[in-house]
Structure 1
Amino acid sequence: MTLYIGREASKLWKRVCAEVTAEITLLSENWKYLLAGLIFQYIHGLAARGVHYLHRPGPLLQDVGFLLLPELGIDKAYISETLFTLIFISFFLWTFHPFILKSKRIYTVLVWCRVLAFLVASQFLRIFTFYSTQLPGPNYHCREGSKLATLPRPESALEVLLINFPRGIVYGCGDLIFSSHMIFTLVFVRTYQKYGTRRFIKQFAWLLAVIQSFLIVASRKHYTVDVVVAWYTVNLVVFFIDKKLPEMPDRTSGASLMLPLTSKDKDSRNKEENHKLLNGNSGDPTDRRQRTQVNGKNLEDGNTGHPDNAMNGV
């Protein structure tokens, strides 16, 4: 038993080391995209903090979701945040599962490059939207009479740049259309829908996204329009950007062959292919078709009967 555990532990360690090596290679080539995505997360937080200075509390707007869904109240508002935290942590851990599990289809670095691209595009649209019109916040700390509903004029630029993290994020007001929680939830669910392997988990993830939508409205953190706009905007953003991004390699067909080439490897391969072409070799070992010479020139497939087939002056 001890021998078996030791052998399995050794295999796991080798797998982790191999995965770390592969991911470091990818990280060295894609760190700029990851860093840019992380920096924009701060910019998004900064924009949300800035619109809080513009927020003016007022009476709640008429909302269908508020009429249909019972209000959870302040004491139960944590339910929505708890579910969102569960979705966030679950997705984060799933992106690192190739380091441990044998059945792996993704590279962690490449997945997060795509996820951050989706988040940045959605958040960019969100910033333009909530700065266009500031609605009176429906959350409890954003209503009339709350000290947190309005922010005093900042005394220095540093006060704005620090965004009072994390309290300034949790108790923000004015950044309503559209829901940031739904941006993250839908991006995570759609990513797992494409690259995940468990059908049951995919269906369950979509169910959690729907439940999250209802809880956000029931907690009075957003109006229903904030959630509805998030549903079609984020899905459209992910759809169109995913079409523009290069497809990720499927690791089930061989992980080592799917690693992108470094610039040095690309130059070496290009030189090798050019050398083979200059020597009359296509470089493809499976290409063994007989070539016929006409007027001292090589023709493929033996097409010698028509003068248009001759390669004159080449």
Structure 2
Amino acid sequence: MAIYLAREATKLWRKVTAETTVELQLLFEKWRLLLAGIVFQYIHGLAARGVHYLHRPGPLLQDLGFMALPELGQDKGYLSEILFTSIFVTFVLWSFHPFIYHSKRFYTVLLWRRVLAFLVASQFLRIVTFYSTQLPGPNYHCREGSKLATLPPPNNVLEVLLINFPRGVLFGCGDLIFSSHMIFTLVFVRTYHKYGSKRLIKLFAWLMAIIQSLLIIASRKHYSVDVVVAWYTVNLVVFFIDKNLPEMPDRTSGLSLLPVSTKDKDDRTKEELHKAEKDSKMKDELHKLLNGNTVDSTDRRQRGQMNGKHGEDMNHNLSDATPNGA
């Protein structure tokens, strides 16, 4: 038993080491775009913090979702956060599964490059939207009478840049249309739907996205419009961006460790053509040696045609010269 475990541990270590080497090569090539996507996450948080200074509490807007779904209450608001955290952590762990499992369907670096592109585009639209019009927040700490509903003017720039993390993120107001939680949820679910391999998990993921939407409304963290706009905006953004991005190589067959670039493909095509031409010349030379002459293939074909014609003429003359009945 101990020998078996040691052998499997060695195989796993080799697998992790080989995959890490491949992913690091990709990371050294794509690090600029990945870093830009990560930096924009801070910019998005900074924008959400800034709109909180502009927020003014007021009466809740009439909302169809509030009428249809009973209010969970302030003591049960954590339910939507637990589900969102589960979706987030599960997706992150799944995105690194090629380091351990043999089912190689994608490169982790390239996958996160696409995910960050989806997130950045959706978050940019979100920033433009919630700065256009500030709605009175429906969350408990954003309502009238709450000390957190309105932020006093900042004393210095550093107070704004630090965004009071994590309290400033958890108790923000004003960044409503559209839901940031739904941006992450829908991007993760759509990504797994395309690159995941388990059909049952795909259906379960979409079900979790629907439940997440209902919990956000029931906990009064967003209006229904924030969730509805997120559903069609994020899906459209992912559809159009994914359509214009180069498709990731499928690693299911396990034939290639790294994606082949266009230059490599061109060089490989040139080498194959050169090899085919060289093989053709070698065959012609071999044919000449076997026939005992140095006549090229064109002359050989012409001579063959002439010999065949002479043979036909000779046979025709002989048949004419032969008497009938012989």
TM-score tier after normalising by the smaller chain length: 0.7 to 0.9
Question: Letter of the aligned partner of 1:56 in structure 2?
Answer: R
Q: Distance in 2 between matches of 1:214 and 1:179?
A: 12
**Which residue in the other structure is 1:31 paired with?**
31
CA, structure 1 residues 273+209, in 2 after alignment: closer, same or farther (shift >3 Å)?
closer
Coordinate RMSD, CA, aligned:
2.2
What pairs with 1:179-190 in structure 2 (closer than 5 Å)?
Answer: 179-190=179-190
Question: Letter of the aligned partner of 1:120 in structure 2?
Answer: V
Q: Distance in 2 between matches of 1:104 and 1:173?
A: 42
CA, structure 1 residues 69+259, in 2 after alignment: closer, same or farther (shift >3 Å)?
same
What pairs with 1:1-314 in structure 2 (closer than 5 Å)?
Answer: 1-261=1-261, 266=263, 282-283=273-274, 285=276
Secondary structure at the counterpart of residue 150 of structure 2: coil
Q: Distance in 2 between matches of 1:234 and 1:284?
A: 50
Tell me if the contact between 2:192 and 2:202 (Cα under 8 Å) persists in the aligned partners: yes
Secondary structure at the counterpart of residue 251 of structure 1: coil
- The structural deviation recorded for 1:282 is 2.3
Tell me if the contact between 1:251 and 1:258 (Cα under 8 Å) persists in the aligned partners: no
CA, structure 1 residues 158+196, in 2 after alignment: closer, same or farther (shift >3 Å)?
same
User: Please, which moves more after superposition, 241-250 or 252-261?
Assistant: 252-261
- The structural deviation recorded for 1:257 is 4.6
Question: Letter of the aligned partner of 1:100 in structure 2?
Answer: I
Q: Distance in 2 between matches of 1:18 and 1:9?
A: 14
Q: Distance in 2 between matches of 1:33 and 1:239?
A: 20
Tell me if the contact between 2:65 and 2:217 (Cα under 8 Å) persists in the aligned partners: yes
- The structural deviation recorded for 1:255 is 4.9
Structure 2: 5+ residue stretches without partners: 282-326
Q: Distance in 2 between matches of 1:212 and 1:286?
A: 62
**Which residue in the other structure is 2:305 paired with?**
none
% same residue: 72
Tell me if the contact between 1:178 and 1:227 (Cα under 8 Å) persists in the aligned partners: yes
Question: Letter of the aligned partner of 1:73 in structure 2?
Answer: G
Q: Distance in 2 between matches of 1:65 and 1:234?
A: 20
Tell me if the contact between 1:71 and 1:219 (Cα under 8 Å) persists in the aligned partners: yes
Any idea what the Cα deviations from partners look like across 1:70-106, whole Å, max 9, x if unmatched?
A: 0000100000000000000000000000111111211
Q: Distance in 2 between matches of 1:44 and 1:30?
A: 22
Tell me if the contact between 1:22 and 1:259 (Cα under 8 Å) persists in the aligned partners: no
Secondary structure at the counterpart of residue 115 of structure 2: helix
Tell me if the contact between 1:77 and 1:219 (Cα under 8 Å) persists in the aligned partners: yes
Q: Distance in 2 between matches of 1:284 and 1:208?
A: 55
Question: Letter of the aligned partner of 1:69 in structure 2?
Answer: L
Q: Structure 2 length as normaliser, TM-score? A: 0.82
Tell me if the contact between 2:22 and 2:257 (Cα under 8 Å) persists in the aligned partners: no
- The structural deviation recorded for 1:17 is 0.4
Ranges of 4+ aligned residues in structure 1 off by more than 2 Å = 253-261, 268-274, 281-290
Question: Letter of the aligned partner of 1:103 in structure 2?
Answer: S
Structure 1: 5+ residue stretches without partners: 291-314
Any idea what the Cα deviations from partners look like across 1:197-250, whole Å, max 9, x if unmatched?
A: 000000000000000000000000000000000000000000000011100010
- How many equivalent residue pairs? 282
Any idea what the Cα deviations from partners look like across 1:255-291, whole Å, max 9, x if unmatched?
A: 5354345x9xx4x8867866x6xxxx7247599889x
**Which residue in the other structure is 1:297 paired with?**
none
CA, structure 1 residues 208+60, in 2 after alignment: closer, same or farther (shift >3 Å)?
same
Secondary structure at the counterpart of residue 146 of structure 2: coil
User: Please, which moves more after superposition, 245-254 or 136-145?
Assistant: 245-254
- The structural deviation recorded for 1:3 is 1.2
Tell me if the contact between 1:176 and 1:222 (Cα under 8 Å) persists in the aligned partners: yes
